Amino acid sequence: MKKKFDVQTIIKTMQSVLPTGHESIALHEPHLKGNEWNYIKQCLDSGWVSSAGPYVDHFEEQLAKYTGINHVIAVVNGTAALHTCLQLAGITEQDEVFVPALSFIATANAVSYRGAVPHFADCDEKTLGLAPRKLDSYLQEIAEVQSEYCFNKKSGRRIKAVVPMHTFGQPVDMDPLVDVCQRYHLVLIEDAAESLGSFYKDSHTGSWGLLSVLSFNGNKIITTGGGGAILTNNSSLAAAAKHLTKQAKLPHPWSFNHDMVGYNYRMPDINAALGCAQLEQLPGFLEKKRLLALRYQEAFMNIKGVKIFKEPDFARSNYWLNLLLLDEEYATYRDVILESSHNLGIKVRPAWTLLHKLPMYQNCPRMDLSTAESLERRIINLPSSAFLIG
């Protein structure tokens, strides 16, 4: 007989980790206590506030140094970065692109912007991200390789790429995924939007894809207000990315000549100034977020029916969002916990609605998604701001 699930114990345990005296505790807020005011004032005083100026170049250089990836191109948001990556990778109309069903909608939307078809893949409960071995088994059933091109035998369309997303900052198991991509001739593009500061086997996320992306939205581990970045070790692609995101304008002192359809995606200097100040504080943010994750893990260690998600042995997570995972038999209590927490001002949230359930994606191809569907029922994201640890 199933034991009665004690929602109040869950709430009290959550409260025991969080600071007192707050009327409301958000899921994740920016911490702006460094050089933000100084750098933005310098930016304003100089007049360089738009898409040219010293801060955006410095931000790119510092990100490249931190991640160990050779080239960084700063853009207006992570979605724009992903859209650009898909274009540079040659994704065209009616190509199929594998994306995880458990992801923020931008991952699938960027595929749609190219006229391509999202093909939804299942997740691995050990990483929360795309499951490479399950994808391999699925491809053995539905894929056919012809002259180094991969085709879906059921739809007849070319399968062109895989876009794993490092969910809530937890790194995907990349080695087996790289192997799958090589054997089926699939382009690998990493959606590392949530994983700045996360490492897989001692290398920063984004190091395995032909291209990868970061996001610096207001709720990310560091913020530029709105912003994102394209990362690559390929010099030619980096040059193409910078050209494409600057309206494909040819350099000239006064003439406006463009050689292709480009995008107004370049990050403004004033946003990059904010990012430079935030990046200086990243090591401290990571230290505090790891300590917060440890406190959650210790607090919930002996609570029946739930667990706090821990990074796998091969990874070091930024713990962007901490995760309370209900046992399957208690999944029906998820919404009770969400409502009770919100009534107390604790702004927990569930996982995103799985992408294949959204009206515009219901008819897209998909593999068995049983793990993603289970995770969706059971996930509760906990408040994870760095400043919650004093």
Q: Is residue 264 located within the same domain as residue 303?
A: no
Residue 84, in any domain of the structure: yes
Cα–Cα distances (Å) from 294 to 213, 271, 285, 301, 307, in that order, read 28, 32, 14, 10, 12
Distance in angstroms between the alpha carbons of the first and the last residue of the chain = 43
Residue 373, in any domain of the structure: yes
Cα–Cα distances (Å) from 115 to 102, 348, 365, in that order, read 21, 35, 15
β-strand partners of 24: none
β-strand partners of 264: 246
Q: Is residue 165 located within the same domain as residue 225?
A: yes
How high is the pLDDT of residue 1?
Answer: 47
Q: Is residue 276 located within the same domain as residue 299?
A: no
SS (H, E, C) the chain: CCCCCCHHHHHHHHHHHCCCCCCCECCCCCCCCCCHHHHHHHHHHHCCCCCCCHHHHHHHHHHHHHHCCCEEEEECCHHHHHHHHHHHCCCCCCCEEEEECCCCCHHHHHHHHCCCEEEEECECCCCCCECHHHHHHHHHHHEEEECCEEEECCCCCEEEEECCECHHHCCCCHHHHHHHHHHHCCEEEEECCCCCCCEECCEECCCCCCEEEEECCCCCCCCCCCCEEEEECCHHHHHHHHHHCECCECCCCCCCCECCCCCECECCHHHHHHHHHHHHCHHHHHHHHHHHHHHHHHHCCCCCCEEECCCCCCEECCCCCEEEEECHHHHHHHHHHHHHHHHCCECCEECCCCHHHCHHHCCCCECCCHHHHHHHHHEEEECCCHHHCC
Q: Is residue 24 located within the same domain as residue 75?
A: no
How high is the pLDDT of residue 3?
Answer: 61
Residue 1, in any domain of the structure: no
pLDDT of the chain, 390 residues: tens digit per residue: 456 789 999 999 999 999 998 889 999 999 999 999 999 999 999 888 887 889 999 999 999 999 999 999 999 999 999 999 999 999 999 999 999 999 999 999 999 999 999 999 999 999 999 999 999 999 999 999 998 999 999 999 999 999 999 999 999 999 999 999 999 999 999 999 999 999 999 999 999 999 999 999 999 999 999 999 999 999 999 999 999 999 999 999 889 999 999 999 999 999 999 999 999 999 999 999 999 999 999 999 999 999 999 999 999 999 999 999 999 999 999 999 999 999 999 999 999 999 999 999 999 999 999 999 999 999 999 999 999 987
HSE (side-chain half, CA atoms, 13 Å) at 389: 16
CB distance 313 to 79 below 8 Å: no
CB distance 216 to 223 below 8 Å: yes
We report the CATH number of the domain holding residue 169 as: 3.40.640.10
We report the CATH number of the domain holding residue 21 as: 3.90.1150.10
Q: Is residue 108 located within the same domain as residue 248?
A: yes
How high is the pLDDT of residue 2?
Answer: 55
How high is the pLDDT of residue 390?
Answer: 73
Alpha-carbon span 289 to 386, nearest angstrom: 5
**CA 36, 190, 354 angle in degrees (round to 5)?**
95
Question: Which pTM value belongs to this model?
Answer: 0.96
Q: Is residue 129 located within the same domain as residue 192?
A: yes
Domain range for residue 19? 7-32+282-388
Query: Residue 117 corresponds to which amino acid?
Result: V
Q: Is residue 347 located within the same domain as residue 274?
A: no
Q: Is residue 261 located within the same domain as residue 365?
A: no
Final residue in a domain of this structure, among 250, 280, 310: 280
Final residue in a domain of this structure, among 221, 250, 280: 280
Domain count, the chain: 2
